[in-house]
Amino acid sequence: MHLEVLFSIAINMLTAKNIHKRYGTLEVLKGVDVMINKGEIVSIVGSSGAGKSTLLHILGTLDSADQGEIYLNDQRIDTLRNKALAKFRNTHIGFVFQFHHLLPEFNALENVCIPGWIAGKNKKEVSKRAAELLESLNLGGRMDNKPQELSGGEQQRVAVARALINQPQIVFADEPTGNLDSKNAMELNELFMRLRSEFGQTFLIVTHNEELAQLSDRMIHMKDGKIVEG
């Protein structure tokens, strides 16, 4: 069956219901509902302060909601705590941030391997998959280079490979092109599309990059802590 046919059969990947978040007296999220299907690329857009990154961090279990429920593949995840939460996050969720957060003392291959090593997977198999990912991202000749020896675009592609190493069900990206020039931003946009086409990877992206948002399957517009469209 062609991927296009598979994607036309909506399989729910992520569901969030009535998400509220307050920091002190500031109510950042005011009852947000989200549904993302498998193999879908969805962008969250809106002005600064709309609650986009807060929502992304809560959906990715990096922060907790004051109220609401979150399900990934029908498993409720907002109730997970401590080691169970850390294990679930590492094995089921990938992250790409505006700043790549690569560890400077490790080379590109090692940086990609780290989540696999944390998960306790076979080191040889993890290294093989990391090398394959870097090859597919046109970084085969840069595996031994440390982050400071890579360009900004190359560093972000290493970060994408790291996000994919454990074959996550969904990748959360927070302003992934925000620190890149227009050429590298376009290349990263195209990379996300290729990963979806070739591997059925699901992405939820917070972005101010209008071109990336327009390339997405769907845009979620946020304003004042609520979804106003999408």
How does residue 6 score in pLDDT terms, banded at 50, 70 and 90? very low
* pLDDT tens-digit map of 130-158: 999 999 888 999 999 999 999 989 998 99
170 or 198, which is more confident: 170
pLDDT of residue 213: 85
What pLDDT digit, counting tens, does each position of 86-109 carry?
Answer: 989 988 999 998 788 899 999 999
Q: Check residue 200 and give its pLDDT.
A: 87
Please tell me the pTM assigned to this model. 0.88
* Residues in contact with 164: Cβ distance below 8 Å, sequence separation at least 6, in sequence order: 94, 133, 171, 195, 201
Is residue 71 a contact partner of residue 53, using CB atoms and an 8 Å limit?
Answer: no
As a whole number of angstroms, the distance between CA 31 and CA 22 comes to: 11
Q: Are 225 and 32 in contact (CB under 8 A)?
A: yes
Give the gyration radius of the chain's Cα atoms: 17
Q: Considering Cα of 203, then 208, then 209, then 214, what sign does the dihedral take? A: positive
Could you give the domains of the chain? 3-229 (3.40.50.300)
**Mean pLDDT to the nearest integer, 206-215:** 84
Is pLDDT at 187 greater than 90 in this prediction? no
Question: Would you say residue 39 has pLDDT above 60?
Answer: yes
Q: Which residue has the higher pLDDT, 29 or 138?
A: 29
Sign of the Cα torsion 91, 92, 96, 97 reads negative
CA separation (Å) from 144 to 122, 125, 140?
A: 20, 18, 9
Q: Is 132 helix (H, G, I), strand (E, B) or coil?
A: helix
In the prediction, which pLDDT does 9 show? 55
pLDDT class of 214 with cuts at 50, 70, 90: confident
- 22-32 as b/e, with b when 16 or more CB fall inside 10 Å? eeeeeebbeeb
Number of C-beta neighbours around residue 55 at 10 A: 27
Q: What is the pLDDT of residue 143?
A: 97
